[in-house]
A and B are shown apart, each in its own frame.
Chain A
Amino acid sequence: MQGKGTQLLIGTRKGGFMLKSDNTRRKWVLSKPILLGNIVHHMVLDPRDGKTIIMAARTGHLGPTIFRSFDHGKTWKEVEKPPAFRKAAEGEKGLVVDHVFWLTPGHASEKKVWYAGTSPQGLFRSEDSGMTWESVNGFNENPMRRKWTGGEQDQTPDGPKMHSILVDPRDPNHLYIGMSSGGVFESKDRGASWNPLNRGCAADFLPDPNVEFGHDPHCVRLHPQMPDRLYQQNHCGIYRMERGEGTWIRIGNAMPRKVGDIGFPLVLHPRNPNMVWVFPMDGTTVWPRTSPDGKPAVYRTSNAGKTWNRQNKGLPEKDALWTVKRQAMTADDRNPVGIYFGTTSGEIWGTRDEGESWRCIARHLPHIYSIEAAVTAS
């Protein structure tokens, strides 16, 4: 995208949008709504070809499906076989996909592979660029799935989620998933078997704080240049894990006490594994999960979480009770990096200097679920 401006793919409760900048990232042009009225949870560009976009959508009435575009979002067509669980045997209660929540392009060497995470927690793989989707039975049919994901009372308010599907850039068989609830899990055999990866991570909402699974990661990230380092914004704080150590360290403890380390999104610098941005929200009392004290701010660490710096120049100084969801914050690959976040109240804010200053680049949108920068493989 160097020299070509930045393109943001925006999923909202009422449709998809595209927001394109000029080369300076000062001027932004918003598209007409895409599939107006559809609930769009995620819209992702395929970094391997730079033109295919896959969108997870449903409506208030109709079941979940997936649309594809092969012309940079000009036209869209529904796929032949969206993700669906196995039909249950007689007398067995079967699972039903409520919505497709998360989309991840497969490994760079597997040009047509995509992964989808659903609500309730299910993992699906496409090997034909999203046209047909098959259950990853190593997870969906795993005898432990019910225990890993918990019962209905263990789920997040708008439905249990599988999210943060990560593919190790060194090995297409090495996958991570995040589940709310359930925790972080890892597979080394392309999804055939899974192991929990939650040691050191708090689960304050469970009687045993040292459980093996049942945690609530909100957003898990793996740095492509340092794939043995993971970060997560969890329900219970901000964490980092070095795989050699195997334990999550609460790097959110270095955040200011008055702000705390509760939030949904977490964004990595594309070239610096030590630099991370988060958007803290109020996790006190009844968990309003709005900007603490009505003063929105992004926090950035440049040293993998040892210290954090407040970045709020240009953001409202008071009376802004913003919520930013886990998929609604992203980075482009420019230099300096642009960071963008969207609020549930329909505004998009961006920085073109790595968080030093912010400005509103779109407003009056519907409730924003997701923003992805259209980053292409270099």
Chain B
Amino acid sequence: MTIFIPTPLRSYTAEKARVQANGATLAHLLQDMNSRYPGIRFRMIDEQGQIRPHIKIFVNQEQVRDLSIALTNSDDVLIVCALSGG
């Protein structure tokens, strides 16, 4: 499926804004992304398996917080770096 990558994470994807990865759940998708782009998962997901505070993940424009959510190949996954300034 297609995943939109925000600018702070594009150093991992050779500056690509959209990448392809697979997974039956969001957790599996993030694992697959990490195998393709090593290190990217830990910048988004902490060691307790939680989405980090300023990262938001949307599946088909619905924000998700649970990594066990099921995905299909036609889903659009959007990763956003939320407000964090100063």
| A-side contacts of B82, CB under 8 Å | 61
Asked if A62 meets B9 with Cβ closer than 8 Å, knowing A80-B39, A82-B42, the reply is yes
Nearest A residue to B56 via CB reads A61
Closest CB-CB distance, B75 to chain A, in whole Å?
23
B52 & A63 in contact (Cβ 8 Å cutoff) = yes
B48 touches A61 (CB 8 A): no
B29 at the interface (CB under 8 A from A): no
A residues less than 8 Å from B42 (CB atoms): 63, 65, 82, 84
Interface string of A61-92 (1 = CB under 8 A from B): 11101000000000000101010111110000
A148 to B50, CA, bound (A): 26
On chain A, the number of residues with a Cβ less than 8 Å from chain B's Cβ atoms is 18
Number of interface residues of B (CB under 8 A): 22
Closest to B11 in A: A78
Q: Which of B39, B45, B50, B84 gathers most chain A CB within 10 Å?
A: B39
Least distance between B57 CB and chain A CB atoms (Å): 13
A244 contacts B by Cβ under 8 Å:
no
**Bound CA–CA A95/B50 (angstroms):** 11
CB distance from B53 to the nearest CB of A (A): 9
1/0 contact trace for B48-78 toward A, CB 8 Å?
A: 1110101100000000000000000000000
Mark out the residues of chain B between 2 and 24 whose CB falls within 8 Å of any chain A CB in the assembled complex. 6, 8-9
Which parts of B23-57 form the interface with A (CB within 8 Å)? 38-39, 42-50, 52, 54-55
Contact sample, A vs B, 16 pairs, CB 8 Å cutoff: A60-B86, A61-B6, A61-B52, A61-B54, A61-B81, A61-B82, A62-B8, A62-B43, A62-B55, A63-B44, A84-B46, A87-B47, A95-B47, A96-B48, A97-B46, A97-B47
Q: Which residues of A contact B (CB under 8 A)?
A: 59-63, 65, 78, 80, 82, 84-88, 94-97
